[in-house]
Every structure is written in structure tokens, then in C-alpha cells.
Amino acid sequence: MSLKLQSLLLIVCLLPSAFAVTSTTGTIRFDTNDDGSMEMILNATGLGIGAVPSANLSVQGNTQIDGPLALGTASMHSNLNLGGTIGFSSQNLSTNATLDLHSHVLVDTSSGPVTLNLPYAGNVSGRSYFIKKKSALNTLKVQAQNGLIDTSEYYHLTAGNTDFINVMSNSAQWFVMGKSSTVSPQWTPAAVSTALWYDASDASTISAGPSDNLYQWRDKSGAGYHMEQSLSNRQPSSGTRQVNGMNTIDFDGSDTMALSSGFQVTAGSNSMVFAVIDVDTKTNGRVLNCQIGGGTRFGILMSGSGFAEFQHDASWNATVSSSLSTGLQFLSGYKNGTVTGSGNNGNYQTASKGGDPPTLDSWNMGSYGGTSSFLDGGLCELVVLFSYDLSNREKIEGYLSHKWGFESSLPSGHAYRVIAP
């Protein structure tokens, strides 16, 4: 509050004890700048600061109070002392929205899933939202714009429950201050046992030189299978290409990386492989190629005919017969017993082959043995598991597609086509 307004308020408070002020119009106006604009108005309704009074005290604009404030009580032992109830103006939503100045939000999900975006935390330091899901139908997703909620990009208020979540910004990010027990954070492959996991969007896993040449891509599985390349003319680029606003590793058709010592596929084990690629050339490109001698025994690739192919033994186990396209998509494959499937954007073709690869002695990313069939495109994320579970397969497909922005390419009946796991 400005010094002029503080002085005017002091005058108004002292006037009754000194002498009476009367008005022939029922209104006393204060124009401190003599410019026809009233800084304060006093009438039978009340006192208005920056506004015509509509209550005992009406204030328009910012207000600063130094010291304790008591409302409905004479007790003054806190900065804000309240005697009685408090009311909030709530916002009712039933469609996707970005939250604004309403701190209490009621969300109706009865007509379908809803996504709420929290504003950028850096612009609203100290702001708090209490969000309540009114309907048990469908799912409510609460996500941060350009940041995190605790350690996740979003939280789910799931179908079957009428949950709540309370979040607050500290200018750096959003934090959960309270929630229902069934409210869950973003699902990631960290929830399952991965054998390999390379994520181009995670800067902590990227080691690149001054020319953006990637010399090490660290494994997020915890097993320590880091991909490396010491030759500068074979190093892919990091920081030069993006997908959905996130970094991706650019393989230019001559780049490749390798493990100095790699994993082995246990006899009788199942497997799942997922690779998100922004494809430039759709033919004859190896994404993950593990072999013994001169033969590929485990991996996923784009064939010379432009098909997605997956291998778990000495011959290609399954091929998606529809031709690949260029652009953003994910290739995947799995072995489940004697059934092997190869997929493109969640559409699979299966074959009855279930052999196991022998001991592997070479592990390459982006090429066949480091010498041919080079990948041409951006590799966004690669996940490998030595297990098979349909629920986990669909979760990984949903996680990858929503994260990298191609969820609409999933099959129409996919469990996570509409909302991420």
C-alpha cells in the first residue's frame, strides 16, 4: 500500500474523533493527484480503495499488510488470525485445461479422461492448488509444464476412485503436499527389471564432446552396460536434434556405438525390446545388434525391405509385413515361450519360434558389427527386458508413446492409447 493511501486511511480513521465531516452527496472522494481519478471513495456502503465500495472495505489492486492481520477475532498470535469460517471460489472443470488463479479445483471425469496442466512453477512461487476428482469414472492426470511434481512429470488420479491431490510451487518445481493413498506418480520402466535402458532425454546419461559428438551413453538399468564410441567419425550427435521438445541421439548413417563387454541371454528366457526412432531412412538399419562371429543372434532392426524385424535366436523370429514409414515410431519385439512377436507402433505379427541365442561376443547400437547396416535417424529411447509380461509390455508402450508424442499411433484398443500409465 502506498504512503499516500496509508496517510489517507489514517486521516479517515482520525476524523470522527476530531470533528465531523459531512457530505451533501452521500460520498466523500479522495483525489490525491488532482487528476479526476479517485484513489479512495467513502460512502454509506463502506470504504473503497481503488474501487467503488461494494462492502465495508473494498480493495482493487495489490495490497500489502506489514504485521499481523486479524479477521473475526481479537487474537493476534500469527501473521493471519482467523475467527470463523473461510470460503474459496472453486473452479469446476470437465475438459483439459491449464490451471489459473483458482486454488480449489473440482474435476468431473464422468464424460472422459481429463488432463490438467499446472502453470510454470517459476512464475507462481508459493502458489498452491487443491484438486479433487468428483467422479469415479475415468482418469484425471495432473502434470507440470516444463518441470516436475516431486520427481515425476505427472500424477494419476485413477478410475474407480474420487481422489484428491494438493500441490505447491517453490519457484523451481511443484511438490505434493498431500494426496489420497491411491494417487500414483508417472510410471516408468524403473518400476520393472530392465536389462538395458538408454534414454536420450536424460542429460545425466549423456557424455558428449565439444562438437556434440556422443562418446558414452550410460545405461539406466543399473547393470552398467554403457554404450561407447572412441572414434570421432563414428560418434553420433547429442543436442542437435529434438523430438517432442526432448533431446534425441542423431545417427547419420555412418555412426555406431558398442559395449566393451556385454550381456548374455540366459537359455530359456523370454525377452522384450522397445526402440523409439525418428526414422530418416527406413531400410537396412540396425538399432540393437548382438551377435556371435558373423551372425546376428539377438536384436531389432529395419530390414532391407523396410520391415520391422526382431530376433531371439539364429534366425529372424518375426517380421511385421507392413512396410515401415519415415518419421517418429517405435519398433518392438518379444519372445514368450515359443511365440515371438515383432511390432511397429504396438501392432504385432507373431511366429512360432522360440530358440535361444548362443554365447554372444559383440554388442552394437546403430550398426551390424560396427561395419555395415548403419542406422539413419534419431534414436530416442531403447529398453530391453529379459522377461515377458503383457501388462508390462503395454505399460512400456504407453510410457514411450505418450512421452515422445505419438500415442495416437497406438492401436485403438490399446490400454494406454488415451492416457499414459
The tens digit of pLDDT for each residue in 168-208 reads 999 899 999 999 998 989 899 999 999 999 999 999 999 99
State the pLDDT confidence band at 235, using cuts at 50, 70 and 90: very high
Contacts of 210 (CB under 8 A, 6+ apart): none
pTM over 0.85: no
In a 13 Å sphere around the CA of 348, the CA atoms on its Cβ side amount to 21
pLDDT at residue 89, as a whole number: 82
Q: Is the pLDDT of residue 417 over 60?
A: yes
- DSSP H or E run through 395: helix 390-404
Which of 162, 185, 208 is the last residue before a domain boundary?
185
Count of beta carbons in the 10 Å neighbourhood of residue 6 = 10
Q: Per residue in 120-143, pLDDT tens? A: 999 999 999 999 999 999 889 899
Query: Are 242 and 332 members of one domain?
Result: yes
Q: Is 78 part of any domain?
A: no
Query: Does one domain contain both 242 and 359?
Result: yes
Amino acid 7: pLDDT: 52
Residues 108 and 246 both lie in one domain: no
Q: Is 178 contained in some domain?
A: yes
Are 208 and 161 in a shared domain? Answer: no
Q: Tally the C-alpha atoms within 13 A of residue 417's C-alpha that lie toward its C-beta.
A: 11
Q: How confident is the model at residue 18 (pLDDT cuts 50, 70, 90)?
A: very low
C-alpha span between 61 and 379 (Å, rounded): 51
Give the count of domains, the chain: 3
Range of the domain at 144: 91-185
Looking at the structure, tell me whether residues 244 and 355 fall in a common domain.
Answer: yes
Domain endpoint, select from 185, 210, 238: 185
The C-alpha atoms of residue 420 and residue 418 are separated, in whole angstroms, by 7
pLDDT of res. 38: 81
The per-residue pLDDT for 317 is 61
In a domain, residue 83? The reply is: no
Give me the mean pLDDT over the 265-282 stretch.
90
Give yes or no: residues 316 and 251 share one domain.
yes
- What cell was used for 184? 500414483
Segment 40-92, tens digit of pLDDT: 888 988 888 888 888 888 888 888 888 888 888 888 888 888 888 888 888 99
Task: Choose one of 152, 185, 218: the last residue of a domain.
Answer: 185
Looking at the fold, whether 276 and 363 belong to one and the same domain comes out as yes
Same domain, 204 and 276: yes
- Other CB atoms within a 10 A radius of the CB of residue 394 amount to 17
My answer on whether 132 and 28 are in the same domain is: no
**Residues 155 and 231 both lie in one domain:** no
